[in-house]
């Protein structure tokens, strides 16, 4: 068995080398397909990372009317803490809200001057709610809108956060769809080119195959070199596509690093490089094997 596999590998490498520009063409188109696959996979992971960061920062702020006593707000807080979907409820008094506002806008001279002209604290006391899971926020909002203290509530600010998350999800879905369509198109072209390359290889080895048939060689012995040749196309293309993707990410790292939580897009890629390379090799090998199998079914009559 090992001798058969060794001989098949050697023969497949020889065929790959002898095919010259056909091999280059097949690998080049497959590189495009696998580069798109790797880029979409990487983009998907980055988008999921961004969405996760946004979701981690999301909360519900329930603002109470200015005439509502602190005791009633604390009672509302206790009520919310008993809701199973809520992980934490923080009370922000009017004074604390003003302190936070001044800290966040310390460099905004116009805002600070306007605040001084007002002469009193215009901010409202609030409860900041964190959910156990981002998907539970809408349930919490519905509960607040129908709670016993709903008449004391001035406003609930979850709507904008919800719209942002929905937009991000929509963008991520569209990116993945477009990427998969492009990868599918390049993949189909790759199969066609590899198919024709294997077909030519079968044709050039026609006499050798006839001799092997006459001496009683097994079907596996005859077919293995062509299967391995298809795998070689896939693996070589995967390695080249991975290198190009790494160079591309290194180039855009300066401009896009702020979108990931680690602050370094290239480091984020390196952390996931093995997963991306594994995906590319798996898809590349599959396309190579599929192309070889189709060519053998059609032209290798054994």
Q: What is the average per-residue pLDDT within 91-113?
A: 80
Query: Could you read off the pLDDT of 122-160 as tens digits, one per residue?
Result: 888 889 888 887 778 888 888 888 888 888 888 888 766
Percent above pLDDT 70 for the chain? 82
In three-state form (DSSP H/G/I as H, E/B as E, the rest C), the secondary structure along 102-168 is: HHHCCCCHHHHHHHHHHCCCCCCCEEEEEECCHHHHHHHHHHHHCCCCHHHEEEECHHHHHHHHHHH
Q: Residue 3 — pLDDT band, cuts 50, 70, 90?
A: low
Predicted structure pTM score: 0.65
Whether 129 contacts 60, CB under 8 Å: yes
| Size of the chain in residues | 302
Burial class (CB in 10 A: 0-12, 13-18, 19+), 268: buried
Q: Which two tokens stand for residue 101?
A: 């506002």
Query: Could you read off the pLDDT of 65-90 as tens digits, one per residue?
Result: 888 888 898 999 988 888 888 888 99
**Spatial CA neighbour of 192 closest among 41, 298, 36, 276:** 298
Domain range annotation of the chain: 2-54+165-299, 58-157
Its CATH class, for the domain covering 58-157, is alpha beta
């Amino acid at each position: 068995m090992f001798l058969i596999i060794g001989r098949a590998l050697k023969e497949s490498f020889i065929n790959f080398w002898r095919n010259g520009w056909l091999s280059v063409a097949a690998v080049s188109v497959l590189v495009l397909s696998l580069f798109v696959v790797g880029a979409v996979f990487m983009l998907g992971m980055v988008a999921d990372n961004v969405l996760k960061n946004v979701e981690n920062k999301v909360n519900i702020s329930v603002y109470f009317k200015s005439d509502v006593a602190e005791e009633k707000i604390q009672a509302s807080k206790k009520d919310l803490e008993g809701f199973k979907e809520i992980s934490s409820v923080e009370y922000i008094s009017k004074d604390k809200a003003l302190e936070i506002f001044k800290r966040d806008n310390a460099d905004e001279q116009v805002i600070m001057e306007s605040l001084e002209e007002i002469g009193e604290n215009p901010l409202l006391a609030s409860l900041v709610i964190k959910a156990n899971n981002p998907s539970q926020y809408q349930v919490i909002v519905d509960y607040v809108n129908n709670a016993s203290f709903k008449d004391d509530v001035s406003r609930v600010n979850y709507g904008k956060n919800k719209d942002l998350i929905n937009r991000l999800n929509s963008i991520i879905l569209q990116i993945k769809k477009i990427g998969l369509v492009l990868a599918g198109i390049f993949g189909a072209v790759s199969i066609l080119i590899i198919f024709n390359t294997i077909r030519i290889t079968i044709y050039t080895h026609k006499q050798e195959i006839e001799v092997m048939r006459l001496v009683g060689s097994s079907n596996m012995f005859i077919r293995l070199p062509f299967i391995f040749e298809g795998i070689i196309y896939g693996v070589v293309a995967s390695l080249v596509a991975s290198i190009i993707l790494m160079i591309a990410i290194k180039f855009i790292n300066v401009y896009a690093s702020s979108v990931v939580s680690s602050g370094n897009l290239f480091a984020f890629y390196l952390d996931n490089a093995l997963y991306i390379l594994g995906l590319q090799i798996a898809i590349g090998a599959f396309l190579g094997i599929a192309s070889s199998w189709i060519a053998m079914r059609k032209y290798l009559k054994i």
